[in-house]
Chains A and B, each alone.
Chain A
Amino acid sequence: MKVVVCTKQTPSTTAVFSIKNGIVSWDDPGGKPNVVNPWDEYAIEEGIRLKENHGASDVIALAIGGEESKEALKTALAMGCTGAILVSDDAFAGSDAVGSARIWAAAINKIGDAKIVIFGKLTIDDNMGVAAMMTARKLGWTPLTFVSAIKSISADSITVERLLDDGKETVTAPLPVVISVVKEINEPRYPSFMGIRKANRAEIPVWKAADLSVNGGTGAAASKVDWSHIFAIPPRVGSVEMIEGDSIAEQVKILVDKLFEEKVI
């Protein structure tokens, strides 16, 4: 059983950004701190566990992005993925979510024979959370989102627990599937020193647009999403008023009157 884990290299959660005149700049002193998209660490961990506990033969980490995305793939290898592939082409730059799903699907088809594709719940740079769903649609497979536990896997089906806003549900779907995982699913392991060395020795193949049969448009030109206006959220302004009064009861009365006045209650 082959498993594909889709990962993305994203700015670290501590990265310092500023926006001026619609242009985003990255202001960290001493370089741009990238990390594996934090949600994807759970996806990578779950992929590796499928190998350890469910006999998956290959766990392949896949990333779309520039050369720097190899760092995310190296982390996946150092944690224990058995292979890694980077999909990188200038023609793909600026793809929107649908364009990206087309690329994911084409790459997954080229890998071939995958039974389970795993995404993190969302990426911390775009915050859309649609990649798993859209990729499943492009592949024609069943999407299982917000998975908090893989219960069982048989030759042709998978049973998972999904974490929803108002509870959990257990569902079974025929393989192959695309799943997205939430952080309740596991505790991602640290890479090991041995893993780091293995990752540094690994050759990570780079697939170009010409290597893939992408079905439909990709890149900025085909993107339906237009970043027409980018602005920083204005800082909140507020004022503080200390309520004076002879007793607590009096202070509370003044407070309640003011809240009524402001139509807060």
Chain B
Amino acid sequence: MFDFITDEHREIQKLARDFAQKSIAPIADHFDETGDFPLETVRQMGSMGFMGIEVPEEYGGAGMDTLAYSLALTEICKVDASHGTIMSVNNSLFCHGILKFGTEAQKQKYVTAVASGQAIGAYSLTEPMSGSDAGTMASRAVLNDAGTHYVINGTKSWVTSAPYADYIVLFTMTQPEKKHHGVTAFIIETDKPGFKRGKKEPKLGIRASATSEIFFEDYLCPVENRLGQEGEGFKIAMTVLDAGRIGIASQALGIAEAALEASVQYAREREAFGQKIGQFQMIQQKLADMKCRVDASRLLIYQACLAKKEAAKTGGRYSMEASMAKLFASETANYCAKEAIQIHGGMGYSKEMPLERYYRDAKITEIYEGTSEIQRMVIARSLTGLR
């Protein structure tokens, strides 16, 4: 039916499924419970090519397209969304941005290390007082008199993988008076003086994905580590988020699929009032709505993947398609996780089954890489042309 899905895509999907089921499923609950970082499986995923699916082979990646990335990420998240978060940051927020805007030397050094799984990457836009409104950040980078280094100061918050990251793509202000046009991107090496990590944030879901604040105190960033030109940072951040949102949509789809599959199975087995609960109309309605939304999410993701491919040819953007996929899939994940618990009754609420984990994990997909409100804003602005 979908002839853009090749045999190779299906092979990638199958390998991701096998790996997720054999190597991640047995450990997912443990890492959720403890909040520890699953370094071993993350490294293994790196050596298998999970961390640079769209990265060309000459930079240590698998050299595939966005659809392959989406299919693989969905399979991982169907088993454990936390592994998916780590994977998505490395792929779309770290590698994609440097590949698109970086110099050859930057690609050689940073993309190769992260795509091959030897290093972990992160992306840092948010600040304590600057979330959805990313143009208001308080951190600063000032070029030194010799013109060799930027001196960076400030606090960034909610940086996924920061507790373990080797390299971070950082967005900060070089010319605050210009607001959005004063943002510049840098590649930060976390083993240099002036960089500090905060403590891991305890959180509701994706608990095995480590998130923390990071602090810069007169951190010296060499000029050659600037990503793109001065003032280009906001554009880079948003371009990278377009790609990232296809990833989060795929993550959400994985959670939703898992919730739906469990629900269908339970509805066929569990009996109440002398029949299978799947024979009650009220349960049927839930299953039918879940299935429609899951498939619609998948189709919106396919559309976004195709739009991204097209945009790469024409030099255009695909922000609206990416936002639509992310918005709809993330709301679908939340709907499906919630209804899956409902269908499972008391068992759904128990930690004996992974449904309550899906429920907690699903919520983040409506928040990071742009809240649902922000996605609706992007979509409507694209439609109307109004700001």
Contacts and interface: CB of A to CB of B under 8 A. Distances in A.
Interface of A: 190-194, 196-197, 200
Q: Is the interface of A mostly helix, strand, loop or mixed?
A: helix
B15 A196 contact: yes
Interface of B: 7-8, 11-12, 15, 18-19, 23, 44, 47-50, 53, 57, 61-64, 68, 72
A192 B15 CA distance: 8
A193 B64 contact: yes
Given A191-B48, A194-B57, A194-B62, 4 more contacts: A192-B47, A193-B12, A197-B62, A197-B64
Given A197-B62, A197-B64, A190 B8 contact: no
Contacts of A191: 15, 48
A44 B62 CA distance: 22
B8 A194 contact: no
Contact of A190 (B48, B53, B64, B72): B48
B19 A190 contact: yes
| Most chain B CB inside 10 Å of its own CB: which residue of A191, A193, A197, A200 | A193
Q: Is the interface of B mostly helix, strand, loop or mixed?
A: helix
Contact of A193 (B7, B18, B44, B49): B49
The 4 closest A-B pairs by CB, nearest first: A193-B49, A193-B62, A192-B48, A192-B49
A194 B50 CA distance: 10
Contact of A194 (B11, B18, B49, B72): B49
Contacts of A200: 7-8, 11
Contacts of A197: 8, 57, 62-64
A194 B60 CA distance: 9
Contacts of A193: 12, 15, 48-50, 53, 62, 64, 68, 72
19 contacts: A190-B18, A190-B23, A192-B47, A192-B48, A193-B15, A193-B48, A193-B49, A193-B62, A193-B68, A194-B49, A194-B57, A194-B61, A194-B63, A196-B8, A196-B12, A197-B8, A197-B57, A197-B64, A200-B11
A74 to B, nearest CB: 8
Nearest to B60: A194
Contacts of A194: 49, 57, 61-63
A200 B12 CA distance: 12
A190 B47 CA distance: 10
A191 B16 CA distance: 10
Nearest to B15: A191
A190 B11 CA distance: 12
A194 B11 CA distance: 12
Contacts of A196: 8, 11-12, 15
A191 B19 CA distance: 10
